[in-house]
Amino acid sequence: MINVHNKSFVPYISAQEIDTIISDIADRINQDYSGKSPLFVVILNGSFMFASDLAKKINLPCELSFVKFTSYQGTESSGEINELIGFKTDISGRDIIILEDIVDTGQTMEKVLNILESMSARSVRIATLLLKPAIFNKKFPVDYVGKNIPNKFVIGFGLDYDQLGRNYGEIYQIQEEKESMLNIVLFGPPGAGKGTQAERLVEKYELFHLSTGDVFRSNIKEETELGVLAKSYMDKGQLVPDEVTIKLLISEVDKHPEAKGFIFDGFPRTEPQAAALDDILAERNSGITMMLGLDVKEEELKSRLLKRAETSGRADDADPEVIQKRIDVYRAETAPVKGFYAAQDKFIKIDGFGTLQEITDRLFIAIDAVK
């Protein structure tokens, strides 16, 4: 661990990994620009180490030109871009590669692109050591990306915190005190009483119940941009892509910064979704506390659903074939997610047989033991 100004930072990307990342970018540029003489436009101050190490690995006739602007104040991107300083090269008809240490929102890079493209360059591409995809919000492509990282502040290898830390040979990530949020992934087969138990957990622990079904319905009803996009897939009978579902989830999480925690219901359903959820929460200085899986024997589930059909009016509760299919789908979907959280020692199986209160008590005991 290192301390810079009033912040602590922990090792994140080693010097060896940085060298491997830069070698990979260099190999791709050497291949793509074979027979050409690119001009590297280096964004100062942060990119000087990246540019220096990359240039040593470029096997092409090339030039380097250095420009400067600032967009950071402390550990936050200000979004305000100064005029481009130090660039007077005639680039008409040239192949340009912009070298940047890190791309986050893309605001500063968009400005540079607009300036260079207005100067009649033949082509303009971007190479960055690091990219923060969670907050990158521009439509232009980043052609060469060394490593995608979460939205956490990093220093070292040219990157600074109020001008200090650039000289480190590896990259460090800010260490933040983890918030004591209670985040639960709740799973239960059809008929397990998951909805009722979720309500009781919300009431006792003051959590926010985040159901993907509810999120889709509300966004579609309100005709939000993501809701309209999700509906376009659903209307075609297609699955909504993970990317859209995850963006909807991020939007809902960010609407409730005061929440003491979340119950995630219906998400994640795959290992990639579970990994994405980990990233979403890590970027907000939190994480999944546990996955609770309600375990009920199949015959008991079928009996409960058929009994529920007498009052619910739901056709899918009354048809034995449909019930079996729903149970089979549940088993298939939850198996990989269960394995994901079991590997993190976060999966807890809850006996789902008994009265509602008995099951609730088991859930409370399991949660209280981990809190």
* Per annotation, catalytic residue among 194, 304, 338, 362: 194
Q: Where are the beta strands (DSSP E) in the chain?
A: 2-4, 7-13, 39-44, 63-68, 72-73, 76-77, 95-103, 123-131, 144-148, 154-155, 171-174, 184-187, 208-211, 262-265, 290-295, 347-351
Q: Is 124 helix (H, G, I), strand (E, B) or coil?
A: strand
**The two structure tokens encoding residue 350:** 């809850």
CA–CA–CA angle 192, 197, 200 (5° rounding): 170
Does 325 participate in catalysis according to the annotation? no
Q: Computed over its alpha carbons, how large is the radius of gyration of the chain? A: 26
Written as one string, the DSSP assignment of 43-86 is: EETTTHHHHHHHHTT--S--EEEEEE---EETTEE----PPPBS
CA–CA–CA angle 284, 339, 368 (5° rounding): 60
292 near 264, Cβ under 8 Å?
no
* Per annotation, catalytic residue among 269, 304, 338, 362: 269
* Per annotation, catalytic residue among 36, 284, 308, 346: 308
* Per annotation, catalytic residue among 7, 326, 338, 362: 326
Does 122 participate in catalysis according to the annotation? no
Strands 144-148 and 2-4: unpaired
* Per annotation, catalytic residue among 314, 325, 349, 371: 314
55 near 40, Cβ under 8 Å?
yes
Written as one string, the DSSP assignment of 305-340 is: HHHHHHHH--HHHH-HHHHHHHHHHHHHHHHHHHHH
Q: At 291, phi and psi to the nearest 5?
A: -110, 125
- What is the spatial distance between Cα 172 and Cα 322, in angstroms, rounded to a whole number? 53
Does 362 participate in catalysis according to the annotation? no
172 near 166, Cβ under 8 Å?
no
**Up-side HSE of residue 240: CA atoms within 13 Å toward CB?**
25
Does 284 participate in catalysis according to the annotation? no
Element (H, E) at 21: helix 15-32
| Residues annotated catalytic, as ranges | 194, 269, 308, 314, 326
